[in-house]
Chains A and B, each alone.
Chain A
Amino acid sequence: MNVTATLFGQMLTFAVMVAFVWRFLWGPMTRMLAERSRRIADGLAAAEKGKHDLERAQKRAVELLRETKQQATEVLAQAEKRAGEIIDEAKSHARSETENIIAAAKSEIAREINAAREQLRASVAQLAVVAAGRILEEEVDAKAHAKMLGAVVQQL
């Protein structure tokens, strides 16, 4: 075997091949692979973060629900309490009103009784005068006996 141009030709071919592969395939492809692995890492990190966020949100939702339930219970209790108060107020109001009405009625009755009594007295006095007149068969001077009659009437 001699050293010929074929040998140098093949050496040159090899060098050119390496340069071309380097420039057009190896370079872009390694960059792309690095970019891809970076994107995959980013995606995984994002997924991890999303999972965490979801967990946190779920926890927060549960907490919120619990708080809301508690608040609702509180509001309900307050409302019941208020209702009870209102009922109690109404009851006491009604009671005092009743008492007022009863008192008014009683005083009215008393007044009526008094009026009736006064009338009765007057009627009895008259009746007594008439009856005495009939018994004595003479006119009783009402004016003369007014003092006595008044005393009688007062005893009624």
Chain B
Amino acid sequence: MPATDNPVEYIEHHLTNLQVGHGFWSLHLDTLIFSWLLGAILVFVGWRVGRKLSPDAPSGLQNLLEAILEFVEGQVKSTFPGYSPLIGPLAFTVFTWVFLMNTMDLLPIDLLPKAASLMGIGHLRVVPTTDPYTTLGMALTVFVLTIYYNFRVKGPLNYLKSFLVHPFGIWLFPINIVMTVIEELAKPLSLGLRLFGNMFAGELVFMLIALLPWWAQWLPGGAWAIFHILVITLQSFIFMVLTIMYLAMAHTNDDGAH
């Protein structure tokens, strides 16, 4: 038996956030709570491991975090010019947190919403990265950081000058301003929307699979879940690499020299 008799209603139900408030103060409680929960798990595990690090006999969790850290550090070193103390923790947080939030997609699609509805909660979206507020929030934070570092490394004047002379030289400065503003704005937008789009599409496919008769679900469901393991890892990796790259570009002085 399919999960519901009314597919459109089923999908719409699954795409509605648990929301309180109106206008600016409308809060997606499910997105916030699940991202906080996963973030808390990450911080707690990191704090537990970081509090008693053993250089000689690392435990399992420490080994895992060390491996991730060295992987992230390798990415940072191969992309980032010079040294910034922030870039490592930032990239590490992006990778692990996004990965954890993406992983929520692998839970059976109806498991937590059904449990919530039994407790009287009407709507629940469990994957925070399928909510553009999460992905664009992270992308905007990265954007703020790139502007901050552009100002600090290049100096405000140099940075603003790049809007005039890049990419066509000073004589076409009106076009340059438009082009550069679009280019700068496209960075956070594409960064946030890429992750959102991938996760949203992945979730949608899980919903469509859930609409199949129960005996036909295991094959496409299993295949998509296995493929999705790749997608969630890849998307968190891409988000991290782009974060590093945008910050690296902010740290490079001769931005227009390519």
Contact = CB atoms under 8 A, between A and B. Distances in A.
Interface residues of B, number: 45
A25 B50 contact: yes
B39 interface: yes
A154 B138 CA distance: 158
A20 B222 CA distance: 36
B107 interface: no
Contacts of A2: 23-24, 26
B69 A8 contact: no
Contact of B89 (A6, A9, A18): A18
Interface stretch (A28-36, A45-53, A77-85, A139-147): A28-36
A58 B138 CA distance: 64
A136 interface: no
A5 interface: yes
Contacts of A156: none
Given A24-B43, A28-B53, A35-B55, A5 B66 contact: no
A33 to B, nearest CB: 7
Contact of B138 (A6, A11, A16, A33): A11
Interface string B93-128: 100110000000000000000000000000000001
A135 interface: no
Interface stretch (B30-38, B146-154, B210-218): B30-38
A26 B42 CA distance: 12
Contacts of A36: 55
A47 to B, nearest CB: 16
B137 A39 contact: no
Contacts of A7: 133, 136-137, 140
Nearest to B89: A22
Nearest to A37: B55
B137 A14 contact: yes
A29 B70 CA distance: 10
Contacts of B66: 29, 33
A28 B88 contact: no
A4 interface: yes
A155 interface: no
B47 A20 contact: yes
Interface string B59-103: 000000110011001000000000001101110110011000000
A72 to B, nearest CB: 50
B208 interface: no
B51 A33 contact: no
Nearest to A38: B55
A35 B54 CA distance: 11
A21 interface: yes
A12 B70 CA distance: 26
Contacts of A25: 46-47, 49-50, 65, 69, 89, 92
Contacts of A33: 66, 69-70
Nearest to B32: A9
A30 B31 contact: no
Given A7-B136, A9-B32, A18-B93, A24 B27 contact: no
A20 B46 CA distance: 9
A16 B138 CA distance: 12
Q: What 3 pairs between A and B have smallest CB-CB spacing?
A: A10-B137, A25-B46, A22-B89
20 contacts: A1-B132, A2-B23, A4-B26, A4-B28, A4-B133, A5-B27, A6-B31, A6-B32, A9-B133, A10-B133, A10-B134, A14-B93, A20-B43, A24-B46, A24-B51, A25-B47, A27-B50, A27-B89, A29-B69, A35-B55
Given A10-B31, A14-B138, 8 more contacts: A1-B133, A13-B137, A20-B43, A22-B85, A22-B90, A25-B69, A28-B53, A29-B49
Interface of A: 1-11, 13-18, 20-22, 24-30, 32-33, 35-36, 39
